[in-house]
Amino acid sequence: MNVAEDFTIPYMVYLQSFPEPCVGSLIHPEWLLTTAHCPLPVKIRLGVYQPNIKNKKEQVRNYSMVVPHPEFNAGSLNNDLVMIKLSKAAALNNQVGTIAIAMEPLPVNNSCFIPTWTWSKYKNHKDPDSLQNVNNSVISKTECREAYKTYNIRDSMMCVGIVPGRRLPCKEVTAAPALCHGVQGILTFVDGCVLRADVGIYTRIINYIPWIENTVPNN
């Protein structure tokens, strides 16, 4: 098997943008979810394992609509979500698929699967060359506030990782999803590196289910 062409995490979408790329999560054949603070993608690539290598099976799209959450605040990163409609629906197959939105909140200490792309050598390529993942635990807001004393950790946010976190320099693609019975959170900020289990602040998706469910059929 040619790993670069055949192995993907099907719902992960590579949002190729400037100055930094982001992860999108495909929640519908025409729609993906990511953070509102991400720059608009120049190119949307589905079915990607190593973004620095183009493969014959990946699907490339533009966007036809961008719907940021109406109460997104760039200063506080509150309501840090945007829905992006593809210019053409994804062709679902073994390499490209959708992921459900979590419908129930996850208790503290439960584990989430978090995938993202990174650079095996610090930004040796323009695009990342490695797809990695980690299992991190949901922590309480009290623990999270200890880790981020200068941030207002709101009810619309959840924190995943270890406390206090090592916070060494690293480079990984932002907006990674936290997957626990579906998409439970989307990474909005981390002081450090989620793949190393540093505490990340995620937008808590369950708070936004009505907005997501209204956006898809009405656009």
For 49, residues 6+ apart whose C-beta sits below 8 A from its C-beta are: 3, 4, 5, 6, 7, 8, 55, 131
Phi first, then psi, for residue 200 (nearest 5°) are -115, 150
pLDDT at 4: 45
Encoded amino acid at 112, one letter:
C
CB 50 within 8 A of CB 129: yes
Look at domain 111-206 and name its CATH class. Answer: mainly beta
Q: What CA–CA distance (Å, rounded) separates 211 from 97?
A: 22
Q: Which helix (H) or strand (E) holds 44?
A: strand 43-46
Residue 163 has pLDDT above 90, yes or no: no
* pTM, full prediction: 0.93
Q: What angle do CA 198, 202, 205 make, to 5 degrees?
A: 150
Question: pLDDT band at 3, cuts 50/70/90?
Answer: very low
pLDDT at 2: 37
Cβ neighbours, 10 Å, residue 52: 16
Residue 150 has pLDDT above 90, yes or no: no
Q: What CA–CA distance (Å, rounded) separates 186 from 184?
A: 7
Give the residues across from 44 on adjacent strands.
15, 61
Q: From 28, 205, 39, 180, select the one nearest 113 (Cα to Cα).
A: 180
Question: pLDDT band at 167, cuts 50/70/90?
Answer: low
Domains of the chain, by residue range, sit at 3-99+207-218, 111-206
Residue 8 has pLDDT above 90, yes or no: no
Q: Is 68 exposed, middle or buried (0-12, 13-18, 19+ CB in 10 A)?
A: middle
- May I ask the CATH architecture of the domain 3-99+207-218? Beta Barrel (2.40)
- pLDDT above 90: percentage of residues in the chain: 75
User: Is 127 labeled as catalytic in the residue annotation?
Assistant: no
pLDDT at 1: 33
More confident of the two residues 175 and 164 = 175
Residues 179-195: pLDDT tens digits? 999 999 999 999 889 99
Question: pLDDT band at 14, cuts 50/70/90?
Answer: very high
Q: Across residues 25-36, what is the average pLDDT?
A: 98
Asked whether the domain spanning 111-206 has the same topology as the one spanning 3-99+207-218, the reply is yes
Among 80, 127, 129, 198, which one carries the catalytic annotation? 80
pLDDT at 124: 55
- pLDDT above 70: percentage of residues in the chain: 92
CB 83 within 8 A of CB 25: no
Residue 100 has pLDDT above 90, yes or no: yes
Strand, helix or coil at 141? helix
Question: pLDDT band at 113, cuts 50/70/90?
Answer: very high
User: Is 37 labeled as catalytic in the residue annotation?
Assistant: yes
